A and B are shown apart, each in its own frame.
Chain A
């Protein structure tokens, strides 16, 4: 029966119309939704799209805050057979220029036929008008809430006839570069992922998922939204906006709803451990948790330890630690570890790791590092570690991770060039580096110069381009990279810029201008901006600025 999302959702609704499937925190109170109520809310959006002439092959961009409207609009788009894609909402009215630029990048490539948003937002952003007639309809939540849908209309769902190979949804990562590369996933790919992943998780009827993760990232969208709702597992949903201001609310949700599963990026372990007051945890019991899955940025043993020490007295069990390696291109999970068995940690020799690219136990008293296993491939995924020439490497040799599965992306939407680049003989090149030991995967780094801050992907090129716009900075003489911050459990972003000789007296001022401009145009807070004289940055023989080499120089000369 699982041919497409609409059919699957309708079959769940038919089986359990009155099952409370969703608990959403709205303005400090939980709203509880049954499957029937979810359908009714979604139906209104489907009806509005249908009325506006939006077809099943059309992309619909959702620009909404986390909350009921986003949930209804998402499923409404699906029930219409159209392809939803969530664009993060402009929170706090921060950085409108950057936002418009991102939106334009997204619209130019994706060519959506409709946008669903608020009346106020349209006034704010204004320029959507410029994209007509490409955008046929702007659907406003205020209008949708006024709609009444007749009895006979309720049963009509164009989405149920959707072909399983049809694209079900698009996922983008953040920033200009990310928004220009939408991961297109078919219904079949997503069902294949869910079937396999539920197996790996040993998902049970009495599981309860708690999530505050943004729905515009794979972890939030698949693990913390689609999987529970399509599989009839109750979901407790908080918004990232609420969580980041009051992380204790997640702990309270776990206590109140007896949460069993949640997914967190590594920094969130540190964040929760450090930023919750004792009084906000009074009476809380976390013993219902059977898996807290670390995913989406490099995983650290220290972060687990910090979390455990903070929450053990509240019933948190160390067996609940779990890990996963995931990516939108594979729908979500590639591996899963720590379910029904402890997470494996692997202590390896630092020098061999850095100099010889091998991961072996340390000899004697030599320096070592503790690697966190990402677990084993989930049942439908194959993994290989390969060298530069694509040749498979033996266990404990570090190389690029390539994967094959029956849940890969259909394409980067309307980006044939980008799609062709990432496949080699049917295998997907992840760009991540790692090794395999005793059948488990360890991620050791990245081939591509991606920075991950709080689970969000940041492309250094986006940051460098902005920094170069500052007066006094040499065009092409800027480098951005991430360095791990132990306390935060995630990366800090560092920018080094070469400036004009005669401006060296104003280097602090220029650094401040770079910091401000990058924040305004990319919403990335910079940890350190270093303005230096010409020739500070190391160039490769071909004249390009080498990020990795300059990072090493920074760590040695500046951080000491």
Chain B
């Protein structure tokens, strides 16, 4: 799977399923955790979404902006763990 495809799909899923703002355009380098866009109550949703979609587990200790803070970085983690 290509990184760009993953980013595109994450964009849509996050806007629709987590933020509930379908019209929201998330840039691939836009901070999503440190900006508060995904608040602490939704971090676990993000982990569940990634696992359901790609079969990749994000540990709870990884749910902070030091590990990833934008879609590009998150897609990077997903690619490195697929398979």
**A and B part of one assembly:** yes
Q: State the Cβ distance, A280 to closest chain B Cβ, in Å.
A: 10
Per-position 1/0 for B10-42, Cβ under 8 A of A? 000000000010011000000001111101111
Query: Is the beta-carbon distance between A92 and B65 smaller than 8 angstroms?
Result: yes
Does chain A have a CB within 8 A of B44?
yes
The closest CB in chain A to the CB of B47 belongs to A245
Per-position 1/0 for A398-432, Cβ under 8 A of B? 00000000000000000000000000000000000
Report the separation of the CA atoms of residues A244 and B39 in the bound assembly, to the nearest whole angstrom: 10
Does chain A have a CB within 8 A of B64?
yes
Does chain B have a CB within 8 A of A549?
no
Query: Is the beta-carbon distance between B36 and A271 smaller than 8 angstroms?
Result: no
Please name all residues of chain A whose beta carbon is closer than 8 Å to the beta carbon of B39 when the two chains form the complex. Answer: 519, 525
Does chain A have a CB within 8 A of B43?
yes
The closest CB in chain B to the CB of A516 belongs to B35
Counting chain A residues whose Cβ lies within 8 A of the other chain, the interface size class is: 20 to 34
Q: State the Cβ distance, B66 to closest chain A Cβ, in Å.
A: 9
Does chain A have a CB within 8 A of B77?
no
Report the separation of the CA atoms of residues A92 and B40 in the bound assembly, to the nearest whole angstrom: 10
Please name all residues of chain B whose beta carbon is closer than 8 Å to the beta carbon of A267 when the two chains form the complex. Answer: 41
The closest CB in chain B to the CB of A492 belongs to B20
Among residues 470 to 491 in chain A, which have CB atoms less than 8 Å away from a CB atom of chain B?
A: 488
- Neighbour of B60 across the interface among A245, A488, A520, CB < 8 A: A245
Query: Is the beta-carbon distance between B48 and A520 smaller than 8 angstroms?
Result: no
- Neighbour of A242 across the interface among B34, B42, B60, CB < 8 A: B60
Q: State the Cβ distance, A152 to closest chain B Cβ, in Å.
A: 43
Among residues 263 to 317 in chain A, which have CB atoms less than 8 Å away from a CB atom of chain B?
A: 267, 271, 275, 277
Counting chain B residues whose Cβ lies within 8 A of the other chain, the interface size class is: 20 to 34
Please name all residues of chain B whose beta carbon is closer than 8 Å to the beta carbon of A242 when the two chains form the complex. Answer: 60
Query: Is the beta-carbon distance between A94 and B36 smaller than 8 angstroms?
Result: yes
Does chain A have a CB within 8 A of B8?
no
- Neighbour of B23 across the interface among A94, A241, A244, A508, CB < 8 A: A508
Does chain A have a CB within 8 A of B45?
yes
Does chain A have a CB within 8 A of B74?
no
Report the separation of the CA atoms of residues A246 and B64 in the bound assembly, to the nearest whole angstrom: 13
Query: Is the beta-carbon distance between B37 and A519 smaller than 8 angstroms?
Result: yes
Please name all residues of chain A whose beta carbon is closer than 8 Å to the beta carbon of B80 when the two chains form the complex. Answer: none
Report the separation of the CA atoms of residues A277 and B55 in the bound assembly, to the nearest whole angstrom: 13
Query: Is the beta-carbon distance between B41 and A28 smaller than 8 angstroms?
Result: no
Please name all residues of chain B whose beta carbon is closer than 8 Å to the beta carbon of A488 when the two chains form the complex. Answer: 41
- Residue of B33, B36, B48, B64 most packed against chain A (CB within 10 A): B36
Query: Is the beta-carbon distance between A93 and B44 smaller than 8 angstroms?
Result: no
Q: State the Cβ distance, A226 to closest chain B Cβ, in Å.
A: 25
Report the separation of the CA atoms of residues A231 and B2 in the bound assembly, to the nearest whole angstrom: 59
Does chain B have a CB within 8 A of A375?
no
Report the separation of the CA atoms of residues A504 and B81 in the bound assembly, to the nearest whole angstrom: 45
Report the separation of the CA atoms of residues A277 and B44 in the bound assembly, to the nearest whole angstrom: 11
Please name all residues of chain B whose beta carbon is closer than 8 Å to the beta carbon of A512 when the two chains form the complex. Answer: 24
Does chain B have a CB within 8 A of A247?
yes
Please name all residues of chain B whose beta carbon is closer than 8 Å to the beta carbon of A271 when the two chains form the complex. Answer: 41
Query: Is the beta-carbon distance between B20 and A527 smaller than 8 angstroms?
Result: yes
- Residue of A95, A246, A508 most packed against chain B (CB within 10 A): A246
Q: State the Cβ distance, B69 to closest chain A Cβ, in Å.
A: 10
Q: State the Cβ distance, B34 to closest chain A Cβ, in Å.
A: 6
Please name all residues of chain A whose beta carbon is closer than 8 Å to the beta carbon of B42 when the two chains form the complex. Answer: 525
Query: Is the beta-carbon distance between B34 and A245 smaller than 8 angstroms?
Result: no
Given the contacts A92-B64, A95-B36, A516-B35, A247 and B23 also touching, CB distance less than 8 Å: no
The closest CB in chain A to the CB of B42 belongs to A525
Query: Is the beta-carbon distance between A523 and B36 smaller than 8 angstroms?
Result: yes
Given the contacts A28-B61, A246-B60, A275-B48, A454 and B34 also touching, CB distance less than 8 Å: no
Please name all residues of chain A whose beta carbon is closer than 8 Å to the beta carbon of B33 when the two chains form the complex. Answer: 92
Does chain A have a CB within 8 A of B63?
yes
Query: Is the beta-carbon distance between B34 and A275 smaller than 8 angstroms?
Result: no
- Neighbour of A519 across the interface among B35, B41, B48, B63, CB < 8 A: B35
Report the separation of the CA atoms of residues A271 and B45 in the bound assembly, to the nearest whole angstrom: 10
The closest CB in chain A to the CB of B24 belongs to A512
Query: Is the beta-carbon distance between B40 and A244 smaller than 8 angstroms?
Result: yes
Report the separation of the CA atoms of residues A508 and B63 in the bound assembly, to the nearest whole angstrom: 30
Given the contacts A92-B64, A508-B23, A527-B20, A246 and B37 also touching, CB distance less than 8 Å: no
Report the separation of the CA atoms of residues A28 and B62 in the bound assembly, to the nearest whole angstrom: 13
The closest CB in chain B to the CB of A27 belongs to B61
- Neighbour of B36 across the interface among A241, A245, A246, A519, CB < 8 A: A519
Query: Is the beta-carbon distance between B23 and A245 smaller than 8 angstroms?
Result: no
Query: Is the beta-carbon distance between A244 and B36 smaller than 8 angstroms?
Result: no
Given the contacts A94-B34, A275-B48, A508-B23, A244 and B64 also touching, CB distance less than 8 Å: no
Report the separation of the CA atoms of residues A523 and B42 in the bound assembly, to the nearest whole angstrom: 14
Report the separation of the CA atoms of residues A242 and B39 in the bound assembly, to the nearest whole angstrom: 14
Q: State the Cβ distance, B64 to closest chain A Cβ, in Å.
A: 6
- Neighbour of B63 across the interface among A245, A247, A454, A516, CB < 8 A: A245
Please name all residues of chain B whose beta carbon is closer than 8 Å to the beta carbon of A519 when the two chains form the complex. Answer: 35-37, 39
Binding site for B on A (CB under 8 A): 28, 91-95, 241-242, 244-247, 267, 271, 275, 277, 454, 488, 508, 512, 516, 519-520, 523, 525, 527
9 chain-A/chain-B pairs, Cβ below 8 angstroms = A28-B61, A94-B34, A241-B40, A244-B41, A245-B63, A247-B44, A454-B41, A525-B41, A527-B20
Beyond known contacts A241-B40, A454-B41: 15 more, CB 8 A cutoff:
A92-B64, A92-B65, A244-B40, A244-B41, A244-B43, A245-B40, A245-B60, A246-B44, A247-B44, A275-B45, A516-B35, A519-B36, A525-B36, A525-B39, A527-B20
Q: Which 9 A-B pairs have the closest CB atoms?
A: A246-B60, A245-B60, A519-B36, A525-B39, A245-B63, A275-B44, A244-B40, A245-B43, A92-B65
